């Protein structure tokens, strides 16, 4: 004979979320890298359109900030693909 499962109100199934705490931690770290990259990219403009400001081409805006944004995007991809249930 097979046992019948009774669905009593006390035994409601818990909803299973796609992402776990570890995924969200990596997502927030990735968002922090992306936000920092965009903050470092800002500025360097000139109030007078007839005056050229070479500050726009410095290392921080051309190399560092885009690198931080790309690292942040890589962390986001890792956070999405991370399986926290996988055992080592």
Q: What pTM was estimated for this model as a whole?
A: 0.75
Coil, helix or strand at residue 28: helix
25: pLDDT confidence band, cut at 50, 70 and 90? Answer: very high
Structure token pair of residue 77: 């991809």
The three-point CA angle 20-21-25 to 5° equals 125
- From the list 41, 29, 38, the residue with the least C-alpha distance to 77 is 29
If you search the block for the tokens 């004979």, which residue do you land on?
1
Alpha-helical segments (H) within 7-86: 21-41, 59, 65-81
Residue 45 clears pLDDT 80, i.e. is over it = no
Residue 63 clears pLDDT 90, i.e. is over it = yes
Stretch 41-61: mean pLDDT? 85
If you search the block for the tokens 């009774």, which residue do you land on?
6
pLDDT tens-digit map of 2-24: 555 555 567 888 887 788 999 99
pLDDT at site 5: 56
pLDDT at site 41: 93
Where are the domains positioned within the chain? 21-81
């Amino acid at each position: 004979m097979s046992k019948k499962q009774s669905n009593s109100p006390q035994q409601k199934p818990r909803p299973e979320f796609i992402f776990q705490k570890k995924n969200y931690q990596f997502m927030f770290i990735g968002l922090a890298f992306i936000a920092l990259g965009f903050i470092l990219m800002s500025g360097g403009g000139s109030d007078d359109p007839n005056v050229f400001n070479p500050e726009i081409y410095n290392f921080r805006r051309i190399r560092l900030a885009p690198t931080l944004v790309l690292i942040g995007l890589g962390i986001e991809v890792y956070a999405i693909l991370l399986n926290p249930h996988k055992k080592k």
